[in-house]
Amino acid sequence: MTIDETSIPTDRDRVEDAVRRARHAARWWGGLSHDDRKNWLLEFKSVVARNSASLVDVVREETGKPADDALLEVMLAVEHLTWAAKNARRVLRERSVLPGLVSANQAASVRYEPMGVVGVIGPWNYPVYTPMGSIAYSMAAGNAVVFKPSELTPRTGTWLADTWDSLSAPHSVLQTVVGDGAVGAHLARAGVDKVAFTGSTATAKKVMATCAETLTPIVVEGGGKDALIVDEGADLDAASEFAAFGAMGNAGQTCAGVERVYVVDALADRFVDKLVARVTDLRVGDAADAQYGRMTLPRQVDVVRSQVEDALARGGRAVVGGPESVRPPYVDPVVLLDVPEDSEAQVEETFGPTVVVNRVRDLDEAIDRANTSKYGLGASVFTGSAAAGRRAADRLRVGVVSINSVLGFAAIGALPFGGVGDSGFGRIHGADGLREFSRVKSVTTQRFAPPLNLVTMTRKRRDVAIARFLLTKIHGRRRR
């Protein structure tokens, strides 16, 4: 018997089928009221929360992270799902705008309409929280979603879609298509109305090129090389505690994790002592009480090793660990000091449990150095002065700043999240996140004939003369 190969669906067929079904689902979902969608989404989050133990198990098995970290991730995702569901009506309702003097005869309003189908392409490091930032806000804005999880976390992605299906909604508004990068490329090419990509900057460029073929819009949540600044007056216990968590938590596999620390000279020795004490005996491994687990992406250990070796070869010093800390699939904590700013460890994303601490003269130098990165996702500033913290936030070239904490934004639904430069563009979360997945439509309604009729093929000379007079009278006045 010969198998008819043409009857075996290809990856492309699977993706196109899912997008077709999603388009059908989007007509139902997009036609519901905000309140109806809110109710479905709140039911969805309740089921996710009630079954979080099983989701935690899947995440733990696929990523190797401790159960507590997986639980934290699920909690954050549920928080965002709730915020998006509850706020979509307020944020996306039609609103009237002032038409201005020239168009005083028009009523003007802005609408935010669903786009249709959003293709979400997600990474493996936070396989629930990260894609949920796009999934929840897309769905709350009235779109159906086709989600392509990382090939390292397919069961987590499937769990989410299966859980939606368990609600017995008439249509699958959330579907998951599993597979490798080629499946992601098919999705970007399948005629979706927007792609929400989270992953590395290198892949983002490829996905963007694919989207360009069909002029499909894209939001990019890319990598990061976040700096933590320790300024005069900082609480060093808090700064070192947060630095340890930001650098080592989730084995350093956090897009907005701490990879670089800039500490003012006067505090440097004391800060380093405290940081060393906090990370030296971290429990790394698969045991139930481990503080972080294995590197999820096996080849990332080579990146970490190469960066540590390069930093040491260029004059950096290791005060915790070193190249020997890389013992696949684990990497023990590494703290490096005095690493040249042009070394790999300072320029490229590490995505491992290592951190570089460099001394600076003052806050100005810290900000200047932090801003040299091609990435611009997040930053943290520890300072004794709220005003200094806010001034630093003004000057840091990043999308999110946490003052006196790290990752302070993560659970705040109202705060938009995203970066600049190589960290990407567009925003998920918050009102901007809801609008990111909406199509803006401007509507005018003529209420009465304009006193000056300039939009006619039979303009009167008198109307044009009055318009010319008003132009100079209203706009032409000297301002200085």
Q: Which residues bind ligand NDP (CB under 6 A)?
A: 121-126, 130, 148, 150-152, 180-181, 184-185, 188, 198-200, 203, 206-207, 210, 221-224, 255, 297, 349, 351, 377
CA 197 to chain centre: 9
For ligand NDP, the closer CB: 52 or 130: 130
User: Nearest distance from residue 261's CB to ligand NDP, in Å?
Assistant: 18
Pick between residue 322 and residue 399 the one whose CB is nearest to ligand NDP. Answer: 399
Query: In terms of C-beta distances under 8 Å and separation of at least 24 residues, what long-range contacts does 431-435 make, across chains too?
Result: 431/87, 431/91, 433/84, 433/133, 433/137, 434/84, 434/87, 434/88, 434/91, 434/92, 434/112, 434/137, 434/140, 434/141, 435/91, 435/92, 435/112, 435/141
Q: How far apart are CA 477 and CA 312, in angstroms?
A: 64
Nearer to ligand NDP, 114 or 122 (CB): 122
Cα–Cα dist 37/118, whole Å: 16
Shortest spacing between CB 189 and ligand NDP, in angstroms: 9
Residue tagged active-site, from 221, 259, 349, 436 = 221
As measured in angstroms, the least distance from the Cβ of 131 to ligand NDP is 9
User: Cβ closer to ligand NDP: 30 or 416?
Assistant: 416
CA nearest to 139, candidates 181, 194, 177 = 194
DSSP structural state of residue 473: I
Nearer to ligand NDP, 128 or 255 (CB): 255
In angstroms, give the least distance from the CB of 349 to ligand NDP.
Answer: 5
Closest approach of Cβ 17 to ligand NDP, in Å? 18
Q: Which residues contact 421 (CB under 8 A, 6 or more apart)?
A: 373, 374, 375, 376, 397
Does 61 participate in catalysis according to the annotation?
A: no
Q: Which of 255, 348, 349, 436 is catalytic?
A: 255
CB atoms within 10 A of CB 14: 15
Question: Is 211 labeled as catalytic in the residue annotation?
Answer: no
Q: 321 and 89 in contact (C-beta within 8 Å)?
A: no
- Residue 59 CA to residue 375 CA, distance in Å, equals 28
Write b or e for each residue in 436-464: b if 16 or more Cβ atoms lie within 10 A of its Cβ, otherwise e.
Answer: bbbbeeeeeeeeeebebeeeeeeeeeeee
Q: 3-state DSSP call for residue 373? A: coil
Q: Which residue is nearest to ligand NDP (CB)?
A: 184
Residue holding tokens 């601490």?
357
Q: Which is nearer to ligand NDP, 255 or 335 (CB)?
A: 255
What are the catalytic residues?
221, 255
